Chain A
Amino acid sequence: MNAPLRRVGVVVMVLFGLLFANLNWIQAYKADEYRTSDYNGRVQVAEYDRKRGNIEAGGTALATSKETTGKLKFQRTYPGGAKYAQVLGYKPVNLADTGIERVENDFLAGTSDQLIGDRFKDMFTGDQTGGGNVLLTLSKRAQDVAYDQLRNNQVGAKRGAAIAIDPRTGAVQALVSMPSFDPNPLASHDTSQAAAAYNRLEQDPEGPLKNRALSETLPPGSTFKIVVAAAALENGITKTTQIPAGPSYTPPTSGEPIRNAAASICPEPQISLLDAVTESCNTGFAQLGVRLGANTIKEKARQFGFEQEDLTVGQLGEGGLPTAASRTGSIQNTDGGDDPAALAQSSIGQRDVRMTPLEGAMIAGAVAHNGSQMRPYLVRQLLAPDRTTSYYTAKARELRQPVSPQVASDLRDMMVSVVQNGTGKKAAISGYTVGGKTGTAQSAPDRPDHGWFIGFVLDKNKEPISAVCVMLEQAGPGGSAEAARIGGQIMRAAIADPGGR
Chain B
Amino acid sequence: MTVAATPAPSPATTGEQSGVRLARSRRNAELSLLLLAMVLVAAYGATVEANLLDTVTPDFWMPAAALGAVFLGLHLVIRFLAPFADPALLPAVALLNGLGVGFLRRIDLGEAPVADRESLAVFAGIGGRQLAWTLASVILAAGLLAIMRDHRSVSRYAYTLGLAGIVLVMLPAVLPSSISEINGAKLWIRVGGFSLQPGEFAKLALLVFFAYYLVRKREVLSLASRRLLGIDFPRGRDLGPVVVVWLISLLVLVFEKDLGTSLLYFGMFVVTLYIATERVSWLLIGLVLFFGGAYLAYFLGSTVGGPFANFYVRAEIWLDPFADPTDKGYQLVQGLLALGTGGLFGAGPGGGQPEILPEVQNDFIFAGIGEEIGLFGLSALLVVYLLIVERGLRAALAVRDSFGKLLAGGLAFTLGLQVFVIVGGISKLIPLTGQTTPFLSAGGSSLMANWLLIAVLLRVSDGARRPVTGGGGKAARPAGGPPEQLHGAPTEVIKP
A positions within 8 Å CB-CB of B = 1-6, 8-9, 11-13, 15-16, 18-20, 22-24, 26-27, 30-35, 37, 39-42, 45, 69-71, 94, 191, 195
Contact = CB atoms under 8 A, between A and B. Distances in A.
A27 B343 contact: yes
A15 B416 contact: yes
19 contacts: A1-B494, A3-B496, A4-B274, A4-B275, A8-B393, A12-B390, A13-B386, A15-B417, A18-B424, A19-B420, A19-B429, A20-B379, A26-B340, A31-B343, A33-B340, A35-B341, A40-B337, A71-B114, A94-B356
A33 B429 CA distance: 18
B114 A22 contact: no
Interface stretch (B89-97, B238-246, B402-410): B402-410
Contact of A30 (B340, B378, B397): B340
Nearest to A46: B353
A31 B389 CA distance: 29
Interface string B428-461: 1100000000000000000000000000000000
B339 interface: yes
A349 B203 CA distance: 74
A270 to B, nearest CB: 63
Nearest to B354: A42
B353 A4 contact: no
Nearest to B383: A16
B420 A41 contact: no
B62 to A, nearest CB: 25
Interface string B351-386: 011001000000000000010000100110010011
Contact of B420 (A5, A15, A31): A15
B396 interface: yes
Contact of B375 (A2, A23, A45): A23
Interface residues of B, number: 53
A3 B428 CA distance: 32
A193 to B, nearest CB: 14
A71 B115 CA distance: 10
A12 B271 CA distance: 11
A92 to B, nearest CB: 12
Q: Is the interface of B mostly helix, strand, loop or mixed?
A: helix
B326 A39 contact: yes
Interface in B251-303: 271, 274-276, 278
A12 B391 CA distance: 12
A34 B341 contact: yes
A479 to B, nearest CB: 38
Nearest to A70: B113
A8 B271 contact: yes
B386 A12 contact: yes
B18 interface: no
Given A9-B393, A26-B428, 5 more contacts: A1-B405, A12-B412, A26-B336, A33-B340, A41-B356
Contacts of A34: 336-337, 339-341
A70 to B, nearest CB: 8
B406 A1 contact: yes
Given A19-B427, A23-B427, A39 B337 contact: yes
The 10 tightest CB contacts between A and B, nearest first, are: A34-B340, A12-B416, A31-B340, A15-B420, A22-B429, A40-B337, A4-B275, A9-B393, A34-B337, A27-B375
Contacts of A12: 386, 389-390, 393, 412-413, 416-417
Contacts, number: 136
Query: Most chain-B Cβ atoms within 10 A of its Cβ — which of A35, A70, A191?
Result: A35
Contacts of B271: 8, 11
A68 to B, nearest CB: 11
Nearest to A21: B429
Contacts of B419: 16, 19
Contact of A9 (B378, B390, B496): B390
A71 B344 CA distance: 27
Given A15-B416, A19-B423, A40-B337, A6 B397 contact: yes
B131 interface: no
B495 interface: yes
Contact of B424 (A11, A22, A191): A22
B334 interface: yes
A16 B385 contact: yes
B325 interface: yes
Given A1-B275, A5-B275, A37-B337, A16 B343 contact: no
Nearest to A30: B340
Nearest to B8: A2
A5 B277 CA distance: 11
Nearest to B343: A31
B9 to A, nearest CB: 8
B340 A35 contact: yes
A27 B374 CA distance: 9
A24 B420 CA distance: 15
Contacts of A42: 337, 341, 352-353, 356
A26 B405 contact: no
A2 B343 contact: no
B170 interface: no
B85 interface: no
A39 B334 contact: yes
Contacts of B494: 1-2
A277 to B, nearest CB: 51
Contacts of A39: 325-326, 333-334, 337
Interface string B123-156: 0000000000000000000000000000000000
B427 to A, nearest CB: 5
Contacts of A8: 271, 274-275, 393, 409, 413
A23 B379 contact: yes
A41 B113 contact: no
Contacts of A69: 113-114
Interface string B88-119: 00000000000000000000001001100000
Nearest to A9: B393
A32 to B, nearest CB: 8
Contact of A1 (B276, B333, B375): B276
B379 to A, nearest CB: 6
Contact of B378 (A1, A23, A35): A23
Contacts of A4: 274-275, 278
Nearest to A37: B337
B492 to A, nearest CB: 8
A15 B423 CA distance: 11
A165 B284 CA distance: 74
A428 to B, nearest CB: 50
A41 B326 CA distance: 12
B465 to A, nearest CB: 16
Contacts of B420: 15-16, 18-19
A31 B409 CA distance: 37
A16 B113 contact: no
Interface string B146-183: 00000000000000000000000000000000000000
Contacts of B113: 69-71
B432 to A, nearest CB: 13
A278 B406 CA distance: 97
A33 B382 CA distance: 24
A42 B113 CA distance: 18
Query: Most chain-A Cβ atoms within 10 A of its Cβ — which of B333, B337, B428?
Result: B337
A1 B488 CA distance: 12
B320 to A, nearest CB: 14
